[in-house]
Chain A
Amino acid sequence: MKILEVVKKQSRGCKPTEPLIFEKHVEHVVGVDLPPLDVQETKVPSGLAGGCKTLPSFGQHDVMAHYTHLSDRNFSVDGNFYPLGSCTMKHNPRVNEWGAALPGFACLHPLQDEDTIQGALRLLYETRTMLEEIAGLHEVSLQPAAGAHGEFTALKVIRAYFADHGQSERTVVLAADTAHGTNPASCTMCGASVQTVKTVDGQTDLEHLKEVIESVGAENIAAFMITNPSTAGLFDANIKEIADIMHEAGAKLYLDGANMNALLGRVRPGDFGADAMHYNTHKTFSTPHGGGGPGSGPIAVTEELAPYLPVPQVMMADDGSFYLDRDREKTIGKVRSFIGQFGVLVRCWAYISACGPNGLRNVSETAVLNANYIAAKLCGRYSMPFFDPKNGKFCAHEFVTVPQDLLDKGVTLIDITKRMIDYGVHPPTMHWPIHDCLMVEPTETESKAALDSFIDVMLQIADEISSEIELVIKAPLESDIARADEVAAARKPIIAFK
């Protein structure tokens, strides 16, 4: 039997592999039915008729089995410690899913009249005002679909502002050498060029910043995109000074909000001089990552940038009703269809409402505490360039380690991370923002037992490197597959089944 042969050949350990749906197709069997047609038929003209005939199908039980088996081949926040730096893989409360699935939210057509969707508009308006308060900025747009989309949108807003003020030549955007890759990519999408600013010990090099401004010419600079805490997991103590430098140059300070989990209720970006920022609701506000999305990337801006925000904007009228303003005179226009990632924003509203102001502050405090605890426990074996608690040098909500001592014993960083998979831990972010580093972000929702267990895993791997190095070099030994050949995948890409 063909399928059994495939399963036997492909399976590792006792868990069977799952054949592709294309290998499971059963002629004339489908997983669900429709009611019989209740009107007369109208012939489809032969010139138009056609259509795809090659999508496989099989019975409903096997559909359930297929996806249940696939789900069994995935790490997740629900089932695993997931310390993925910069991604804030916190617990996803199920009441948020419950709310988003209510028919009164899930079954609304985006072009319905406003009088039929007052509850939804109220939720959006409240989300907007909550995010304005958390940012300490004047106005939020809920339109962007994800963080990178938020960057793009905010940069468009900044460019529109300058164009409107006779400064169209401001087309250069500064970004730290440790910036997220989306920062420069978003600049390109906006027709802006990028100048890199160096960092020293994970902090912006102020002297280099001034040099770059000098050499590019202050009058050509639109903004500086900065991540704070930085991607090295450190608060930039000079952030206010950086804002002042940018404002003196006539430019804007843009905050990449990826690391807002360390600031919630402790620092508001508007208070340190940020002019614009984006949130990642799927990081900070616990909307699920969903295997790569959906996210949502609301942006917050100052009063002077607000007229350029995308449309539509959710507003409250004098009579307390809610409406969508589609007529902003100076708007950059639309950045996606309809009114944003509504279903994601329902979850965001629920999360912020569950936490409340004190809870949000406890979120950032606990996230920072958890990261420092792990760092303190591991720094003896995993060297940490920026962490020195005895001298008051702590990390924020994440830390980086460059385990050079371990690497010198003959393993690579990838070996270490693949061994983590054998212990049920999702590998941290690696080789970024600096070479040969691991970036660990435990988040605030892990229990102390989970933190201690992770610490034990990391110490165990360090021991194995000394005692049984093969275990690490050949890892993962117990995952569904051995290491995937990514080089071959890129050399001769197979991205559709033939």
Chain B
Amino acid sequence: MDYTQLNSTQRQEMFDAIGIQSIDELFDVIPPEIRCEEGLDLLPALSELELQRAMAEMASHNHGAHDMPCFMGCGAYDHFYPALIDQLISRGEFLTSYTPYQAEASQGSLQAFFEFQTQIARLTGLDIANASLYDGATAVAEAALLSTNTTRRNEVLVASTMHPEYIAVLRTVLSDVNIKITMLDATDGCIAPETVEASMSDNVAGVIVQSPNIWGQIEDWDACFAEAHKTPKTAGIAVFNPIACALLKTPGECGADIAVGEGQPLGNALNLGGPYLGLLAAKESFTRKMPGRLVGMTTDEEGRRAFCLTLQTREQHIRGAKATSNVCTNQGLMAMRATMFMTTFGSEGMSEMASQCWHKAHYLAGEILKLDGWKLTYDGAFFNEFTVECPCDVTKVVEFCKARGFLPGVAAAGRRMQGLSKGNELIIAVTEKRTKHEMDALVALLKEASL
């Protein structure tokens, strides 16, 4: 079904109104030599029942967090979210509306996005946030550009312990615009403040450090950003996990000027990597240089509280080549899910969720350490994710567990992680969804796999 609604009588009435005999007249302007007369080489149309069968069939060939306990993380986490999110987000008034350019017809979306911005600002301990970007990786790139645009400098320092895909995207985005990336080498899985100090210069616009980092280690944001701030105007850019912000010191508490992160953990399904949402918060001084959409609170002509998109002169549809970013479509519906998630849990519920992640991850790490030959790769503090050194080939461990219905974690070596490591590290994430039973079962499997 192509979802059109006209019958032949109606079509004829419309032809008559236009004054044409056939539909082809409307396409006469197209030169014959470029017309696609033979038709598209695609499979014939499917009815809805056939579509449902075909999609269910393809879905049945996938196994994931729905039928295996999932200990995979590295930027995407199997967190719980309440059923009301799927129900509310299905409302056509949210699902099928456009970007709320028309304030009088979009107060619902606008108010929700304003609330989202405020929640993200509070969650990160900063002043303002935008209404979302594509994902965590592109948000990091936008933060780098925000720092170079506001300082007119052309170098950023980047923690080598950041997610390798975020680094890869940053390299792509910065490659043709004359901005230098200087990598900060790690010491024991973290960035030492001395390493930041050694690379600082008047030319550095921003220092980008992710915490927890790719190994799950909690970085010393305070010290790294203190080094950055010894050079006036250099921005401390924190790449954060939004769940961790409910338990551990926030980017703002640690002196960050800009905070960016992957918003997927806030009520969004794993979705094989997307759609997710990029979060971007900053100090107030960045307001007029922010990328992406911003919702502002104002009044209507009769004095009522009202919301509208604001500071649009930053954006591509007004400013063109001089816009702060080319971003137009963002991740509105994902931001809507995130705000519903945060509203349902509040600080109290999110803090409970984050605490459970902390306790469970530490329980599991402790149990794995009791196994012969298994050890933590790094000694530093971690939140919900940690890295272990397998006493045998990590890929065999992963295969062994997978064959027994477990996703034990992410192997750091190999192409998928951009050759992050040639070693035997397994990066294990634990959310509040993992039970003691599942963790004990995983430990038994790891033991068996390494015998």
Contact = CB atoms under 8 A, between A and B. Distances in A.
Contacts of B168: 333-334
A101 to B, nearest CB: 7
Contact of A357 (B42, B70, B114, B358): B42
A337 to B, nearest CB: 4
A53 B296 contact: no
A75 B121 CA distance: 28
Given A38-B436, A120-B58, A490 B313 contact: yes
A117 B17 contact: no
Contact of B344 (A28, A60, A136, A445): A60
Contacts of B165: 334, 337-338
User: Which residue of A12, A37, A151, A194 has the most chain B CB atoms within 10 A of its CB atom?
Assistant: A37
B343 A31 contact: yes
B125 interface: yes
A394 to B, nearest CB: 5
Contacts of A407: none
A105 B274 contact: no
Interface string B124-151: 1101110110111110000000000000
B64 A394 contact: no
Given A50-B248, A336-B135, 14 more contacts: A34-B356, A57-B347, A73-B106, A93-B3, A149-B326, A182-B328, A183-B320, A239-B31, A289-B329, A338-B273, A350-B51, A489-B296, A495-B297, A496-B127
A109 B76 contact: yes
A70 B40 CA distance: 43
Most buried by A among B30, B35, B363: B30
Given A48-B248, A448-B14, A291 B31 contact: no
Given A109-B76, A156-B172, A368-B27, A292 B111 contact: no
Given A336-B134, A421-B104, A294 B275 contact: yes
Interface string B1-36: 111111000110111011110010111111101111
Given A119-B61, A356-B46, A485-B301, A109 B70 contact: yes
Interface stretch (B91-99, B200-208, B224-232): B91-99
A483 B104 contact: yes
A235 B63 CA distance: 46
Given A369-B26, A489-B297, A344 B274 contact: yes
Contacts of A31: 82, 84, 343-346, 349
Contacts of B13: 448
Contacts of A55: 119, 122-123, 246, 342-343, 345-347, 350
Contacts of A377: 17
B331 interface: yes
Given A54-B122, A185-B325, A493-B311, A118 B61 contact: yes
A196 to B, nearest CB: 9
B219 to A, nearest CB: 11
Nearest to A486: B308
Interface in A351-394: 352-363, 365-366, 368-370, 372-373, 376-377, 389-390, 392, 394
Given A71-B91, A78-B92, A488-B299, A102 B44 contact: no
A145 B40 CA distance: 26
Interface in A321-347: 326-327, 332-344, 346
Contact of A482 (B28, B131, B302): B302
Interface string B185-229: 000000000000000000000000000000000100000000000
B332 A290 contact: yes
B350 to A, nearest CB: 7
Interface footprint category on B:
35 or more
Contact of B105 (A77, A159, A234, A421): A421
Contact of A240 (B34, B275, B326): B34
Contact of B349 (A57, A146, A338): A57
Leading 7 A-B pairs by shortest Cβ distance: A57-B346, A104-B59, A338-B273, A356-B45, A110-B273, A78-B92, A290-B333
A52 B172 contact: no
Contacts of B138: 145, 149, 335-337
Given A21-B115, A52-B123, A91 B41 contact: no
A51 B249 contact: yes
B165 to A, nearest CB: 4
B305 A10 contact: yes
A188 interface: yes
B78 interface: yes
Given A109-B78, A334-B165, A265 B304 contact: no
B97 A74 contact: yes
A161 to B, nearest CB: 13
Contacts, number: 720
Q: Give the interface residue-count category, chain A.
A: 35 or more
B287 interface: yes
Q: Of residues B17, B103, B306, B352, which shows the largest number of chain A Cβ atoms within 10 Å of its Cβ?
A: B306
A133 B102 CA distance: 36
B108 A39 contact: no
B176 interface: yes
Contacts of B184: none
B36 A99 contact: no
9 contacts: A22-B115, A30-B344, A34-B353, A156-B176, A338-B75, A343-B274, A359-B45, A363-B2, A485-B298
Nearest to B294: A495
B45 A355 contact: yes
A50 B106 contact: no
Contacts of A363: 2-4
Contacts of A198: none
Contacts of A192: 176
B93 A71 contact: yes
Interface string A159-200: 100000000000000000000111111111111111000000
B6 A447 contact: yes
